[in-house]
Amino acid sequence: MGFRETTKIVNDSLALRHFTRIYYETVPTYSTLCRYDNLLSDDVLKNINEHVVQATIAKKLTRGSKLRVDSTAVEANIHYPTDSNHLNDCIKVISRLGRQCRELGLAKGEKTRDFTRSAKKHVLNIVKYSRKRSEEGKQYFTNTYHKLVQIAKRCKSNAVALIKSIPEQSSTKAKHIKNKLEQVIPTTEQVIKQTECRVLKNEHLSSDEKILSIHQPDTYTIRKGKRGKPNEFGKALEIQQTDGKIITHWTIHESNVSDTERFVPAIKKHIETFGKAPHLATGDRVFRQQTMKETHKN
């Protein structure tokens, strides 16, 4: 659940207002929560959690005799990844930055041209033609993708020209626009490349070679074997819990690591925390597979 939805639900619920101790005060806005969230990095949170765990050990609230390991997918707040949506997102971002440059008087003319309406029309046509099964429909589908790629290439060229138009000694807002342009150009190049390979050349790309979101490029595909949702897009979160319902460690994986590779490192982390191995360690069936393999090796 995101911060926007959280603030709305807490604001409408008396029970949650009392639980969060806000009571009848004003609920913090989305931007306030984001600002405070950015102040707490993962390292800071892990240090806080480590102090909490050591305090529970000192007070004998947990003895580390049990360990439960589980993983879940934390979905990113993105729309379903398709090549047409990625191209459209790149075009919208560059067009918006070009409009801001025009408003600041930094550039004008072709460099600041807005392609969003044209791109949206092509995206809608791609959705329409994707349902066609005839050869003519497939040809229209490919041609429309080709036109959208050409628009994205023109936007990328405009972005390069806009960067040259922004002087070194400029306002803070202009520098911010320049940084955004420098970030979006390589992303646009990657999106164009993967679209040409996948759609126009009909080539297969591995998951590591594809970008799933231009706003959250570190997002990857997670397959947990769910029938209703075979593919989830985000990051994998691994949680370790001991007796007393104390969370001793968690890890947000930067790549899609299989559960079969996580169980033994979790045991080692538990030994590092408590100085001994747990008497009982549990996990789902995928973790169990690695345990059986390690047992057969020994």
pLDDT in tens, 119-153: 999 999 998 888 888 888 888 999 999 999 999 99
d(CA 161, CA 113): 12
pLDDT band with cut points at 50, 70 and 90 for residue 33: confident
My answer on whether 143 and 197 are in the same domain is yes
User: What tokens were used for 294?
Assistant: 């390690």
Between 192 and 297, the higher pLDDT residue: 192
CA–CA distance, 243 with 278 (Å, rounded to integer): 10
Single out the residue in 209, 239, 259 at which a domain terminates: 209
Asked if residue 2 and residue 69 are part of one domain, the reply reads no
- The pLDDT tens digits for 94-121 are 999 999 999 988 888 888 899 999 999 9
- Chain segment 171-222, per-residue pLDDT in tens: 888 889 999 999 999 999 999 999 999 888 888 887 777 888 888 888 888 8
Q: Is residue 215 part of a domain?
A: no
Q: How confident is the model at residue 297 (pLDDT cuts 50, 70, 90)?
A: low
Q: Closest Cα partner for 255 from 239, 238, 269? A: 238
The residues, ordered by sequence, that sit 6+ positions from 4 with a Cβ below 8 Å of its Cβ are 30
**214 in a structural domain:** no
- Confidence grade of residue 286 (pLDDT, cut at 50, 70, 90): low
Of 189, 168, 194, the closest CA to residue 179 belongs to 168
Residues 71 and 35 in one domain: no
Q: How far apart are CA 120 and CA 91, in angstroms?
A: 10
Tell me what the pLDDT averaged over the chain comes to. 86
Q: Do 273 and 284 fall into the same domain?
A: yes
Q: Are residues 89 and 191 in the same domain?
A: yes
The last residue of a domain, from among 209, 242, 269: 209
Residue found by looking up tokens 């004003």 in the block: 26
Domain count, the chain: 3
Same domain, 278 and 176: no
Q: How far is 141 from 127, CA to CA, in rounded Å?
A: 9
pLDDT (tens digit per residue) in 237-272? 889 999 988 999 988 888 777 767 788 888 899 999
Are the CB atoms for 45 and 194 separated by under 8 Å? no
pLDDT at res. 98: 92
Assess whether pLDDT exceeds 50 at residue 293: no
Statement to judge: residues 119 and 27 lie in one domain: no
Q: Where are the alpha helices (DSSP H) in the chain?
A: 3-12, 14-19, 30-39, 42-58, 83-103, 116-129, 135-165, 172-195, 263-274, 285-297
Task: Check whether residue 128 and residue 175 sit in a common domain.
Answer: yes
The pair of structure tokens assigned to 110 is 């072709």
pLDDT at position 107 is 85
Q: Is the pLDDT of residue 290 over 80?
A: no
Domain that holds residue 178: 83-209
Distance, CA of 252 to CA of 46 (rounded, Å): 11
DSSP 94-157: HHHHHHHHHHTTS--GGGG---HHHHHHHHHHHHHHTT--SHHHHHHHHHHHHHHHHHHHHHHH
Query: Which band of pLDDT confidence, cut at 50, 70 and 90, is reported for residue 87?
Result: very high
292: pLDDT strictly greater than 70: no
- Do residues 90 and 195 share a domain? yes
